[in-house]
Every structure is written in structure tokens, then in C-alpha cells.
Structure 1
Amino acid sequence: MTHPHLRVETDGPVRTITLDHPEKRNAQTPSLWAALADEARSVPEDVRVVVLRGAGDAFSAGIDTAMFTPDGVPGEESVAQLAAGGPEAIQRGIAVYQEGFTAWGECPAVVVAQVHGYAIGAGFQLALAADLRVAALDAWFAMRETSLGLVPDLAGTGPLVHLVGYARALEICATGRRVSAPEAHSIGLVGSLAPAVDLDETTGSLVEALLAAPAPALRALKPLLRGAVHGDREAQLGHEREAQVGLLQTMLGRADG
């Protein structure tokens, strides 16, 4: 176990990584993002599919909101501590956080997000970090960062625009509204839907179909298709960081330093 709130199980060519902090609805922290990046980078060659899921009644409620309080989360860098170093330190910090999401695109295995309950903010962006998404019929997604006076900055803006288009992505992020699983499926955000009781079975069927492809072809296909997506990823990540610097400082009442 690389993190107390991350459970990793491997069954032959399939690795299942579970966010395992159900009492906080799998809220995320910087140490969890570091552990996710490490997991993505250490997937062995014989693992062909990775499933990301959440324990309890939700995929992930997003960032642990205690990070925005003066006391923060014990053992974690708070938002105030991040902002205290000024714009360059904020960008460096966010760049490290983003690796917990971008590393899944660089992972040679195909990554499937299995979403139930809700995926909010960082939870939504973790689902977007996967190659494919399967959702329970009662699941929903929301980008709530704008309601806090911030923007999504964990590598989710690029994938969201690519999946649903600029206008719809803008509306989803600006309003922070819930996107139901049926709507997510209809707009291309989610590839497969299932009743909650059948979610594991539906995910398993997708995994079996992926494993039916010859291993070399599947391994070559992922980078080939990702490379066909237009847009410069590094530039987009930089834009996320730049946009967040001033917003974070404003939220915390700090002047640029």
C-alpha cells in the first residue's frame, strides 16, 4: 500500500486502484495525488488494464475542503501554505499536483474509471484522466471550482473540451451544475452506463473486451490515438496553473508577491 487511502489489487493483467477513504467520500489531498502519480508510473508491463474506482457511496467528492481552512489537513500542504510562496511557488505546487492526473495518460495500460455516486471537482478530473469511463445510472459529475472563485486546474480542462466541446465544457464548469450519468453518456463524457448493482459486471465486460485485443496492438493503440488529439498538453497545463494563481491569491486575500 502506497498511501493509507489508496488500495491496489492486481489480478493477472488487471490492476484495480481504489480510493479508500469512504468516511470522507474519498476526498483528495496532495499526498494522494503523489501516490496516484507513483502508481501510474509503476504499472508493470504485464498489466494491460487499470481500473480506478472509489470505495463507499461515491467515486470522489473532490479535494478535501479542510485544505482551505486555517488548520488544513494534518500532514498535508494547505491551500494557504501553497499560496504563501507567491505566484511561482503556486505554479510549481500545482504542477506537482497535476502529475497525479496526467501520469495516467502516459501509463501504457488502458485506464478505466468506474464511477458511482458522484465525481466532483478533483473527482471529476480524475475520471477525465482515465482513457475510458463507465458510470452507474445514478452517478453524476460536477465541476465546482468556479463556485469557489477558482478554475479546474488538475489537468481536466483539456480532456473535458475534447470530449464534449468548448461550449458545453464552458457551461458545465461555469455553472458548476450536476451532469447526470445519462446526460454524460449522451454528450460523450461516459462510454457505458449500468444500474449501480451491475456496475462491476459492466466494467468487467469492458475489461474483458479490452483484453481480447492482442497485447502489442492495444499497447500501441493508446499513444497513437492520444497523439491524434489536437492541442498542446503542456501549454494547457500551464494555462490552468496561470489562471489559478491570481484566483487563489484573491480568495485568500493576498496581494501578488
Structure 2
Amino acid sequence: MATSSQDGQELVPLLDKDGVRLTVEDTLATVTLTNPEKRNAQSPALWRALAEAGRLVPGSVRVVVLRGEGKSFSAGLDRQMFTPEGIEGEPSFIDLARSGDAELDAAIAQFQEGFTWWRRSDVVSIAAVQGHAIGAGFQLALACDLRVVADDVQFAMRETSLGLVPDLTGTHPLVGLVGYARALEICATGRFVTAEEAVNTGLANLAVPLDQLDGAVQDLAAALLSAPRDAVIETKALLRGAQDRTYDEQRGAERAAQTRRLRDLAGAGD
């Protein structure tokens, strides 16, 4: 299915399968969850498609937008995965539970691959989130660098209510954004987090009315694209590594990064 660019030109997807569509327009890529009838419920096939989308994003892309069609960004796991028969062609959770430790670990690691590439150093990723973002949907939004939310958004981490834990890479960014105590409370209770709380706690960068969500994301993407690419890459690496460095180590990292930028700029002027 072709989509239209901002100037009305037709964009042919690089990927369009299993509930995931990838389109690229110059330096901007858009990954869309395309199963609104099921509120973009997630499955192993969708996770594999997300991982494939990451591999297909061209090196020229600087910003990746993640969005979901319909009323919900993603309402979480497809509940068929919890039934004995599971999803056709996929192992059910019962099948996975009966596998050996190494096999089960490998299966979960493969599931996680669709969630890991959004924070890679050469792109900035933005999740445009409306309606429900529950469980795996919440974790997918957390996989991105930035989150712009509609005022109707409802985040929730429901894994613990199912006797599970969040295992799709969401725990690390959640603690980094809102702190350990609040992250524990959100995950252990499974309660909803509204747009106002998301912005106030740092979980979301911006909340806007639903009909302004696409425009707000486009404006943010344009602002990110207006800065020199290498400066954004170096700055992202500095900020990502800051929590793992001491103050003096961070000072050193800043000096090294600035040295690279100055030498690059001086060389560009020769």
C-alpha cells in the first residue's frame, strides 16, 4: 500500500507486512503499526517485522517516526498468545514455557530485536502515541528516544497482572525517565498513566490535542533535521552515556567529542 508524502507525492513502502509498514522520505523514515482493527495488538510476527524495518532503514535517514493507525497506538500483546492453541504458526506461551532455558532465552532475545534499534546512534526516533499504549505497546513507545503524546493517551504496564514481567526492553528507559520508585509503582500496579502525568514526570516530551499529534511530530522532526547531523550524533552519544559515567568522565567525554567536532569543522573549511 502506497502512502503520501508531505508534499502529496506517493511513497512506496520499503516494508509492508505483519502489521508493520516502513516508508522513507529523504532523511525521514516512518514506521506505522497497521492493524487498527485489533488496536495494533502485537505478536512475534509483528516483532520480526519491526526488526526487519530497522535493518531496512537507509543510512541516509536521520529521524524515524513510529506511529499507530486507529484509536490506539498499541493495546499490547495479542491475547491469542496466552491460549493453548496460540497464534497459527507461532509457539504459544505455554509452548515457550515448556522449552529449555537456552531455547527460551533465545526466543525472548529474538522478540527484543524489534525494540532495540530505535536508540541507535545515527538516528533520533520519535514515538507518536495516542489512545492505549499498554504492555508491549508501552515498551515500544519507551524504545524510542522521544515521545509526543495525544491528550487521550493511556500508558500502562500490565505484565505483572498476568504474572509476567516487562521483558521487551522497557524497564531500563522507564527507570531512566521517571526514577526507580515511580517505575516500580507503575509496573507493579499496572495503573494508567495519563498525558499530564507523562509530561510532568518526563515520560513524554510533549502532549497535544489528538488532532494536532501528527503536526507536532512533524514540527519536532523538522527541528531535529535542521541541526547538523554529526553534531546531533555526538550529542546523543554524550547524553546516552552520561548516566554511566562519573562527572569527571563525562567532562572528558565532552572534551573528546568537541575535539572531533572542531577538527571536522576545521577540515571542512580547508
Q: TM-score range with shorter-chain normalisation? A: 0.7 to 0.9
Question: Are the aligned partners of 1:40 and 1:103 in contact in 2 as well (CA < 8 Å)?
Answer: yes
Q: Distance in 1 between matches of 2:85 and 2:162?
A: 19
User: Structure 2 matches for 1:183-222, cutoff 5 A?
Assistant: 183-222=197-236
**2:49 corresponds to 1:35:** yes
Q: Distance in 1 between matches of 2:117 and 2:90?
A: 21
**2:185 corresponds to 1:171:** yes
TM-score between the two structures when normalised by the length of structure 1 = 0.86
Q: Aligned AA for 1:22?
A: P
Which whole-Å deviations, capped at 9, do the CAs of 1:153-207 have from their partners, x for residues lacking one? Answer: 1010010000000000000000000000110110000001100000011111111
Q: What is the DSSP-based 3-state SS (H/G/I as helix, E as strand, rest coil) of the residue aligned with 1:74? A: coil
**2:61 corresponds to 1:47:** yes
Match of 1:25 in 2: 39
Compared with structure 1, are the counterparts of its residues 57 and 19 closer, same or farther at alpha carbon in structure 2 (3 Å cutoff)? same
Which whole-Å deviations, capped at 9, do the CAs of 1:198-240 have from their partners, x for residues lacking one? Answer: 0011111111110111122123332332222339xxxxxxxxx
Q: Distance in 2 between matches of 1:66 and 1:228?
A: 41
Structure 1 segments, 4+ long, off by >4 Å, are none
Question: Are the aligned partners of 2:131 and 2:152 in contact in 1 as well (CA < 8 Å)?
Answer: yes
Q: Distance in 2 between matches of 1:124 and 1:107?
A: 22
Q: Aligned AA for 1:181?
A: A
Ranges in structure 2 where 5+ consecutive residues have no aligned partner: 1-14, 246-270
Identity %: 56
Compared with structure 1, are the counterparts of its residues 186 and 9 closer, same or farther at alpha carbon in structure 2 (3 Å cutoff)? same
Which whole-Å deviations, capped at 9, do the CAs of 1:47-96 have from their partners, x for residues lacking one? Answer: 11000000111000111111010121122222112112133322111111
TM-score between the two structures when normalised by the length of structure 2 = 0.82
2:167 corresponds to which of 146, 153, 156: 153
Deviates more, 1:95-104 or 1:121-130: 95-104
Q: What is the DSSP-based 3-state SS (H/G/I as helix, E as strand, rest coil) of the residue aligned with 2:17? A: coil
Question: Are the aligned partners of 1:16 and 1:52 in contact in 2 as well (CA < 8 Å)?
Answer: yes
**2:22 corresponds to 1:8:** yes
Match of 1:87 in 2: 101
Match of 1:244 in 2: none
Q: Distance in 1 between matches of 2:32 and 2:111?
A: 19
Which whole-Å deviations, capped at 9, do the CAs of 1:101-127 have from their partners, x for residues lacking one? Answer: 112122621100000011000000000
Q: Distance in 2 between matches of 1:42 and 1:70?
A: 34
Q: Distance in 2 between matches of 1:177 and 1:214?
A: 40
Larger relative contact order, structure 1 or 2 (CA cutoff 8 Å, min sep 6): 1
Q: Based on CA coordinates, which of the two structures has the bigger radius of gyration?
A: 2
**2:194 corresponds to 1:180:** yes
Q: Distance in 2 between matches of 1:118 and 1:79?
A: 23
Figure out how many residues of one structure are paired with residues of the other and give that number. Answer: 231
